[in-house]
Amino acid sequence: SQQGEEDPQALSIQEGENATMNCSYKTSINNLQWYRQNSGRGLVHLILIRSNEREKHSGRLRVTLDTSKKSSSLLITASRAADTASYFCATDPNTGNQFYFGTGTSLTVIP
Amino acid sequence: ETGVTQTPRHLVMGMTNKKSLKCEQHLGHNAMYWYKQSAKKPLELMFVYNFKEQTENNSVPSRFSPECPNSSHLFLHLHTLQPEDSALYLCASSQGLAGGQNEQFFGPGTRLTVL
């Protein structure tokens, strides 16, 4: 399968703490994207990192990409209750017209 | 508000009914997608359209029939569904297809329950 796999499946932290989620994939990619989904809603794009980039920041988000290990991590710093959601990585492989999503990490931030 | 709308937001139907899901994007994108999201499973891509032409059909049963009359509208026609088809159906659009640094914009989804 070309799908990304997120780890852990679920994560619960206190407000103010940092949250780290990981994504592993199997094929070479053009880019990797992270999305957030609030319960029962559509996905919202957070950040895109290209295959030739190693790290990218956006506000409280930091994404790293290690193409040699075929893995990525999403770090959310100083978490807030509003960050409670599911987080998905999506891989854009070098072939085909599809993006491949994993099962997601469910993050709960306790106020 | 992502610029992608879906109607209805909730749908309950019997196995013999025929219904349609509608998706509209106001972003001027060329590609549109249908995904199925079931509990504890990866997001499943169903169909991809690019410039109104279907480019991907991921072995979706024929009881799901997509229609893309123009680049802004996408429909999913449903008939003789099964209870296991109950899921959240998400529509998405992007400027171009995968491979072009394109992000996808998702609608809020239609929660479908098949009785």
pLDDT digits (tens, 9 = 90+) for A90-107: 998 877 777 888 889 999
Q: CB-based contact (8 Å) between B1 and chain A? A: no
pLDDT digits (tens, 9 = 90+) for A31-80: 999 999 998 888 999 999 999 999 999 999 999 999 999 999 999 999 99
Q: What is the mean pLDDT of residues B89-97?
A: 91
Q: Which helix (H) or strand (E) holds A6?
A: strand A5-7
pLDDT of residue B96: 82
Lowest pLDDT segment from A91-95, B72-76, B98-102, B109-113: B98-102
Task: Check B101 against A31: CB less than 8 A apart.
Answer: yes
Higher pLDDT, B98 or B81: B81
Q: What is the mean pLDDT of residues B78-102?
A: 89
Q: CB-based contact (8 Å) between B67 and chain A? A: no
Q: Could you tell me the pLDDT band of residue B29, with boundaries at 50, 70 and 90?
A: very high
Chain B residues with CB under 8 Å of A90 CB are 104
- Cα of A103 to nearest chain B Cα, Å: 4
A14, A109 Cβ separation under 8 angstroms: yes
Q: What is the mean pLDDT of residues B56-78?
A: 93
pLDDT > 90? residue B3: yes
pLDDT of residue A102: 83
DSSP state of B111: E
Q: Could you tell me the pLDDT band of residue B59, with boundaries at 50, 70 and 90?
A: confident
Lowest pLDDT segment from A28-32, B19-23, B56-60, B89-93: B56-60
pLDDT of residue B99: 66
Phi and psi dihedrals of B83, rounded to 5? -55, -30
B87, B64 Cβ separation under 8 angstroms: no
pLDDT of residue A2: 57
Extended strands (E) in chain B: 4-7, 10-13, 18-25, 31-37, 44-50, 53-57, 64-70, 73-79, 87-94, 105-106, 110-114
pLDDT of residue B98: 72
Chain B residues with CB under 8 Å of A47 CB are none
Task: Check B99 against A99: CB less than 8 A apart.
Answer: no
